[in-house]
Amino acid sequence: MKKSIIKVLGLSIAVLFVMTMVYSCGSKSSSSTPSTATGTVTLTATSGTLGAVNLNSMLSENISASLGKTAGTVDPTSIAISISPTFTNTTSQGFNSGVFAGYVDIVPEGFLPTATTFSVTTSFTASIGGKNYPFTEYNTFTTVASAGTPSAGPRSSYVVTVTNVTQPSGLAAILSGNIPTLAISIITGTVALNPTVAGADGSMILYGGEASNSSSPSDISSAFALPFGAIYTGDQFMSFGSATLSVAGSITVPLQNFNLSGIATASGISNGILYGVVHCTDAACSNLGTTVGGVVSQYIDANGNMIVLGTFTGAPNTVPPVAWIGGGTANTNLVNGIGITTTALLDVTATSSPLTDTTTLPFVILTTTNSNNMMSIAAVGQSADSVPLTSPISFNYPLGVPGLVLTPFATTVGQKYDAYFMFGLTNSKTVTFTP
C-alpha cells in the first residue's frame, strides 16, 4: 500500500504542490532622503485583498532596505513580526540558494475572525554600506465581513487546475510543464458544538484523483489514496496533513506539513492555496539524502524549513461522482486480520461503465467523530484488485493510519466507524465493529 500511495503521490501530490503561489506585496514604506536609510515592508494576502482578506488566507511580507541607490542586506534572524489582535500563526522566510529572498509568509493556524482589522508591526536590521540600521514598519489588513454559507456538502466534487507556483522557484521551473488537472471531492461533517480549532463550524475530509477534464475522469486507478482532514467555516475550508512530493520522477521530498485551503461553493473552488513545509534538521539536509538534500538545502529558511507555495482553482465536476465507479450500490465491512492488521471489504454492484477489467477502485476512508462532532481520519486503504467482469465485485483494502508512512491500523473495541469510498462520497452503513 505504501508503494501504491507513493507512486500516485509522485504525480498527484506534485500536482497539488504545483498549485500555489506567492503574491508580490504592496504596502507602505517610510520616507527617505539620499542620506537617510529607508526600510520597506509591503504586505499582501495570498487570497483576497488587504481590504478584505479571506478567513483562511495566508499573508506575505516583502522586506527590503536601502540608502539612496544602495540596496541593503536584511538579516533574517533579526526579523520580528507582531500582530494585534493576536492569532495563532507560524512564519516562514523565503530563501533562494541559501540566501534570504526578501519575504516572509505568515500562516494562520485557524480561521481569522470576520470584519476585524489587524495591525502588523515588523522590525528588522539591515546592513547598508558596512553599517547596521534598525527598522520598524507598520501595516494593517481587514478580514471579510462574512464567512459565507456552507455549500460544500456531501458529494461535492471539483476538477482542480493549478494556476501558479512561485516557491521554491527551482521546483516551480521543473514542475511548470507537467501539471495535470486533479479531481478533489469533499465530505462535510456535522456542525461542531465545541470546535477544537477556533472559528471552525465543522470538519471535512478532502480526497481526490487525476482527471483529464470536468466531464470525464482519466484513470481512476491512479487516484492518490491519501485523504486530508479539514475544517470549515461557512464556505471557507482549511485542510491539514502530510504528503510526499515527487519531482522529475526521481526526487522524493517529504512534506511534514501540507495544507490546502480555499472557498468551496456550488460554482467551484476559488482562492485555492497550497502550502507545504519540509522540515530540515541541518543546513545540508543530509538526512534527506544526497539528491533531495541538494535540492532542499537551497531553499531552507533560518528555521531549517523549505516552503512549497502556490494557488489553484476548481470547477464543479459535471459527472455525478457515483458514475465514476459505474453507479450501483456498495457495502463495507471491517474484517480483523492477523495481529493488528485490519482490512475493509467493499462489495460493488456495477451497472455501467467506466468499470472495466483493468480498473481498480482507489481507496476507502474510515472516519471517527469525537464528542465535539469533529471528524478525523482513522484509517485509509487502497485496493490492488482488478475488476472482474462479473457483478457484484469485491475489493479488499488493507487499512493503515494515514501519514507520510502508512502504519498498520489497529481497531478499537466497540468503536463506530463511518466508511467512505471512491469519489462518490457515499456513506456506507455505519459499522459497529468489535475486534
DSSP secondary structure of 87-131: --EEEEEEEETTEEEEEEEEEESSPPPTT-EEEEEEEEEEEETTE
Amino acid type, 377: I
Domain that holds residue 158: 2-18+148-316
Amino acid type, 29: S
Distance CA 389, CA 265 (A): 38
CA torsion through residues 379, 385, 386, 387, sign: negative
Higher pLDDT, 301 or 168: 301
What is the rounded average pLDDT of the residues 273-282? 84
Segment among 95-99, 201-205, 419-423 with least mean pLDDT: 419-423
The answer on 197 and 118 residing in a single domain is no
Q: Read off the pLDDT band of 353 (50, 70, 90).
A: very low
Total number of domains constituting the chain: 3
The answer on 276 and 159 residing in a single domain is yes
Distance CA 365, CA 377 (A): 7
What per-residue confidence (pLDDT) applies to 114?
Answer: 94
Asked whether residue 53 is domain-assigned, the answer is yes
Rg (CA), the chain: 23
**Residue finishing a domain among 89, 115, 142:** 142
Model confidence pLDDT, tens digit, residues 52-70: 999 999 999 999 999 999 9
The answer on 39 and 78 residing in a single domain is yes
Task: Please say whether the beta carbons of 366 and 333 come within 8 A.
Answer: no
**Residue finishing a domain among 316, 339, 370:** 316
- pTM (two decimals): 0.79
Distance CA 220, CA 324 (A): 8
Q: Read off the pLDDT band of 329 (50, 70, 90).
A: very low
* Alpha helices per DSSP H over 126-214: 169-175
Model confidence pLDDT, tens digit, residues 104-135: 999 998 999 999 999 999 999 999 999 999 99
The DSSP bridge pattern shows strands 73-74 and 117-128 to be antiparallel
Distance CA 55, CA 157 (A): 22
Asked whether residue 124 is domain-assigned, the answer is yes
Distance CA 106, CA 21 (A): 14
The answer on 112 and 50 residing in a single domain is yes
Q: Which residues contact 173 (CB under 8 A, 6 or more apart)?
A: none
- Residue 149: is it exposed, middle or buried by C-beta count within 10 angstroms (0-12/13-18/19+)? exposed
3-class state of residue 40 by DSSP: strand
The answer on 167 and 273 residing in a single domain is yes
Q: Which residues contact 292 (CB under 8 A, 6 or more apart)?
A: 251, 252, 253, 285
The answer on 227 and 185 residing in a single domain is yes
The answer on 68 and 137 residing in a single domain is yes
Distance CA 252, CA 73 (A): 33
Distance CA 310, CA 269 (A): 15
The answer on 295 and 161 residing in a single domain is yes
Looking at the predicted structure, is the pLDDT value of residue 223 above 70? no
Looking at the predicted structure, is the pLDDT value of residue 272 above 70? yes
The residue among 86, 95, 92 whose CA lies nearest residue 107 is 92
148 φψ region: left (φ > 0), alpha (ψ -120 to 50), beta (else): left
Q: Using the 8-state DSSP alphabet, how is residue 18 labeled?
A: T
The answer on 304 and 156 residing in a single domain is yes
Task: Please say whether the beta carbons of 104 and 92 come within 8 A.
Answer: yes
Q: Read off the pLDDT band of 187 (50, 70, 90).
A: confident
Backbone phi, psi, residue 15, to 5°: -60, -55
CATH assignment at residue 377: 2.60.40
The answer on 330 and 289 residing in a single domain is no
What per-residue confidence (pLDDT) applies to 171?
Answer: 67
Q: Using the 8-state DSSP alphabet, how is residue 317 labeled?
A: P
Which residue shows C-alpha cell 462479473?
390
The residue among 382, 396, 319, 41 whose CA lies nearest residue 157 is 319
Distance of CA 260 to the CA centre of its chain: 3
The answer on 84 and 9 residing in a single domain is no
What is the rounded average pLDDT of the residues 59-85? 96
The answer on 186 and 107 residing in a single domain is no
CATH assignment at residue 118: 2.60.40.1930
Q: Read off the pLDDT band of 100 (50, 70, 90).
A: very high
H/E segment holding residue 3: helix 2-17
Higher pLDDT, 337 or 26: 337
Looking at the predicted structure, is the pLDDT value of residue 420 above 50? yes
What per-residue confidence (pLDDT) applies to 207?
Answer: 76
**Residue finishing a domain among 142, 176, 205:** 142
